[in-house]
Structure 1
Amino acid sequence: MTFQRLSTKPASAILACLLSSSAFGAVVVLPKYNVSVNDVSVSGLSSGAYMAAQMHFAYSKTIKKGAGIVAGGPMYCSQGSVAIATGPCMADTGSRNLAYLQSVVNTWSGNGYIDPTSNMAGSKVYLFSGTLDSTVKQPVMNDLNTMYANYVTPANITYKNNIAAEHAMPTDFSGNGCSTNATPYVNNCNLDTAGDMLKWLYGTLNAKNVGTLGGTFINFDQATFWGNANPTTHGMASSGYAYVPANCTAGQVCKLHVALHGCKQNVATVGVNYNQNTGYNRWADTNNMIVLYPQATTTAANPNGCWDWWGYDDVNFPAKSGGQMVAIKTMIDRVVSGNAAAPFTCSGWYDSNYWHVYYGRAYVGSDGQAYAVNSNQYLGYYTTYAYTNVRRTSAGYYAHGSCA
């Protein structure tokens, strides 16, 4: 995939992204499942890779298993600038100033803008960068590898950077030739990247299902996670998708993996190619693993349906309070809340931060953000669009299902 630089477009519109009728039936409310809070991971390709790294850094208390990054770059690489995003953070033109980015991450970790990075030490990280990648050059990914080594135990990081692959999700069964940079950005490289990633994150897994899958695909409402506002005005589609193995539907204990597509790669653009042909579901089907496929969409400032990793929708895009970040985090909370063994069993509420404040479960701090009463745990935006799980214990109120 290439970037078109059109001088007649505003800067935000020239970010011709990193990549590029529901096939899954009626839109439903995202169900709760018996998913352990200790078995949540995230991955992404291209803009989804940047988003996955943001999620891992910002919500390290929740995404405990770790992250898989295919063709991404350092946390906060864009610094909120489309010029930096398309230059140093993709084409490797100019400096990414890694030392500065790490200092920002450290500051945010200390002030609650993101979860403490100390949570990341025991998580796993899988990195992939093709030697032929002409969209996100390999030195960009090298910097992410260097950044992660400051926060994750080095033995928990694996970096595959010696495969002659272009800018796409490498598979062992589907897609274009491995040296192709074109829609749907899924390439057959005789490499099971999804399997390698999931085995690294979760350890030994059962053999994948190469036949007919036994689970179901669901199409779920994403507006719920924007306080029933219209998510399409914020770069997210009205609905997302998930693959749910039969055992998970039946209530068995399951894992959760969140897989984030790249630009020009949502269902509206490439159909089921990312959701069904990247290999995740084959492993999920035999290993009690739900795969959540949130969906981005196009806006005037985001014409290619990328995830917000440079601030096209929200100046707080890389933080716990970022709009898209909160939406996906709350999807995770929703899925995990069905596990009776998880810390979601104490009395609590799932509501917007506005109503948490109204009912005395939270207060507005001097920075204009919402915090849980007594525990002072950070909740994010004080708006009707930022939804949070808040639980009550004898010690006070806690966010995101944490009742410790």
Structure 2
Amino acid sequence: MGKSLMLFYLATILIVNASVLQKLPALNIDLVGTTVSGISSGAYMSGQIHVALSSFIKGSAIVAGGPVGCTRGYLMYSTTECMAIPQDLNIKSVDETIDKLNKDKKIDDISNLKGAKSYIFAGLKDTIVFPLNGVHLQDQFNKLGLQLKTVYDIPAEHAYITNSFGNVCDFKGSPYINNCSYNQAYETLNYLYGGQLKDSTKAIDQNLFEFNQQNYFSSFMTSLYSSGYVYIPTNCADGKTKCRLHINFHGCKQSVEVLGKNYITMIGINDVAEANDIIVLYPQIVKSPIFPFNPEGCWDWWGYTEWNSMLAPTGYYNLNSAGLNFLSKDGLQIKSVWKMAQDLAAGNKASQQLEYEQEQEQE
């Protein structure tokens, strides 16, 4: 299918289905080499999915986050050891969490992480996820053998950082995007992709597509919004050009339910993607006051998706652990997002074959 015809086809789907793609297009993506990024709860999710699927994911950019498995499934640790009181973190317990997941084969073998890349950012003035959390993540990833780039010297509050849009650098508040005269989108992706990316160009509005996320989850406990978004650069639309995949996870209070498309369109990733043939997947979370307990629309980094009965949320209040499945390949959110990635890569036979072989090994 020619490029112009493919674009026409996508545009037609949008019109017919009330501007929502019912199925993600099958494009030419090699899933090995996928990269991820995120801020805050999305930063924690980026680390979680990188560790869970390290056979495929070879780079992560973690903005205002902390070590993978930091909460160990306990809500109380999310606001204390993993945010505001990082000096109290039981690092040995976190290491044991990853070791257990690896031993039980709930994640890809951690040996895959050796040589992978991660960019870690902690704003000097972050008063929500204190900068020491980033240092703890650095120590964890060093032990796991990742190559790291750390940025700790920008006087930023809790925010994704740009060089053109957002609040002043040390502002705390919505939309949690701050202008610190630093192009974080380009710096992160350029590092993850080996320092060879072209300069950003102007993203094309028509290349951003909304899709039906309800096709990717069966349980309301997954806490996914009805719609997600994908940016498909012009050169990738025909399915012939081999393109790369990047998955970005918004933070709490940053989903389309809250901000509309401002986060997706203003952080600068699409500009980098258009210039460098990188398809960008933006999965979305929905707010939920009780079942599950996710009132601010955060990604699951403490285990809220694991409670699967009407009585289970009481576990949050008596501080019982939710378990560790949310960190695994079978975690509801990780599994759903990876299914989106698989559908996007369905036009690449090599990726399909590798996924099949992985499934056979698990059986």
Aligned pairs (5 A) from 1:3-402:
25-64=19-58, 66-92=59-85, 95-153=88-146, 156-203=147-194, 204-209=196-201, 211=202, 213=204, 216-226=207-217, 229=218, 231=220, 233-251=221-239, 252-299=241-288, 300=290, 301-314=293-306, 315=323, 316-340=325-349, 342-345=350-353, 375=361, 377=362
Q: What is the identity, as a one-letter code, of the residue corresponding to 1:169?
A: Y
Q: What is the identity, as a one-letter code, of the residue corresponding to 1:33?
A: L
Deviation at 1:292, TM superposition (A): 0.5
Q: Secondary structure at the match of 2:247?
A: strand
Identity of aligned residues (%): 36
Structure 1, unmatched stretches of 5+, are 1-23, 350-370, 379-404
1:28-57, CA deviations, whole angstroms, 9 ceiling, x for partnerless residues?
311111011233100100000000000001
Q: Secondary structure at the match of 1:307?
A: coil
Q: Distance in 1 between matches of 2:275 and 2:301?
A: 33
Deviation at 1:278, TM superposition (A): 0.4
1:60-88, CA deviations, whole angstroms, 9 ceiling, x for partnerless residues?
01212x10000001111111111111011
Structure 2 match to 1:396: none
TM-score by length of 1: 0.77
* Cα 1:101–1:161 shift into 2, 3 Å: same
TM-score by length of 2: 0.85
Q: What is the identity, as a one-letter code, of the residue corresponding to 2:276?
A: N
Q: Distance in 1 between matches of 2:115 and 2:348?
A: 23
Maintained 8 Å contact 1:259/1:291: yes
Deviation at 1:234, TM superposition (A): 2.5
Deviation at 1:109, TM superposition (A): 1.4
Q: Secondary structure at the match of 1:182?
A: coil
The structure with the greater share of residues assigned to strand is 1
Report the count of equivalent residues. 324
Q: Distance in 2 between matches of 1:96 and 1:321?
A: 26
The structure with the greater share of residues assigned to helix is 2
1:223-249, CA deviations, whole angstroms, 9 ceiling, x for partnerless residues?
2211xx354x43110110011111111
Q: Secondary structure at the match of 1:257?
A: strand
Q: CA RMSD in A?
A: 2.0
Q: Distance in 1 between matches of 2:113 and 2:86?
A: 30
* Cα 1:327–1:169 shift into 2, 3 Å: same
1:219-277, CA deviations, whole angstroms, 9 ceiling, x for partnerless residues?
11112211xx354x431101100111111112211000000000000011011221000
Maintained 8 Å contact 2:32/2:55: no
Maintained 8 Å contact 1:186/1:273: no
In the TM superposition, structure 1's runs of 4+ consecutive aligned residues that sit over 4 Å from their partners are 345-349
Structure 2 match to 1:363: none
Structure 2 match to 1:8: none
Q: Secondary structure at the match of 2:143?
A: coil
Q: Distance in 1 between matches of 2:97 and 2:121?
A: 25
1:85-116, CA deviations, whole angstroms, 9 ceiling, x for partnerless residues?
10110002562111221122123212201111
Structure 2, unmatched stretches of 5+, are 1-17, 307-322
Q: Distance in 2 between matches of 1:305 and 1:126?
A: 24
Q: Secondary structure at the match of 1:220?
A: strand
Maintained 8 Å contact 1:70/1:127: yes
Q: Quick one: higher RCO (CA 8 Å, sep 6+), 1 or 2?
A: 2
Deviation at 1:118, TM superposition (A): 0.5
